[in-house]
Amino acid sequence: MKKEETHMDEAVLTDVLTNLTEESKAIKNFIEKQQKVIGEKDQEIKNLVSDFEQKYKSIQVIAPKPDMTTTNTALDQSLNKINSTLEAKLVNIKQSIEAGPKPITRHFRLLLFPETNAGYYYKIVFSRLIPWSFLFMVAIYLFHIGDKTIEAWQSHQYNQEGQTCIRAWNYLYQREGKAGRKAMDKALATAEKNE
């Protein structure tokens, strides 16, 4: 760096630093003032709360005694109803106990259709299961047909290639002399052994 640039940078830096220190002093003074104001407000709030507590302690509410006669008669009537219902139920329980236990019979059944909610069951079966099952079977059938078609096409291609090779072999065999035919017969015999 050149000396001029360094001197200029130092001047700028000192100016910036002095500005920052002045701003931080101003912020510190502002915070101190605010803390004083907050302290004063806290003291005012404490005074107001203590005044309210003193006023609250002096308040007295005197309520008249309630008339419970109607409530008591209603409670007595409802308790009598409950007692009579309980007694009737207890009598039923005693009679069923005295009658003795009935043997438990278990039924093992395979139900294809439900005993309850049959309409909902039919709605599910006929609106969802059957169409999807049919669609699934059609998809499997189409896949099977597609597989067979591809297999047939591949075998057709293989046969066409084989027929081409046979025609080429026969053409060459007819055009060759005795030595060529003998070499071709030997090659054919070797190929048949290797299969």
**pLDDT (tens digit, 0 to 9) for every residue of the chain, 195 residues total?**
455 555 667 888 888 889 889 999 999 999 999 999 999 999 999 988 888 888 878 777 777 787 788 888 888 888 899 999 999 988 888 888 777 777 778 888 887 777 788 888 888 778 888 888 899 999 999 999 999 999 999 999 988 888 888 888 888 888 888 888 888 888 888 888 887
pTM, 2 dp: 0.32
* Cα 113 to Cα 168: distance, rounded to the nearest angstrom: 69
Contact status, residue 173 vs residue 184, Cβ threshold 8 Å: yes
CA distances for 36 relative to 40, 43, 44, 49, angstroms: 6, 11, 13, 20
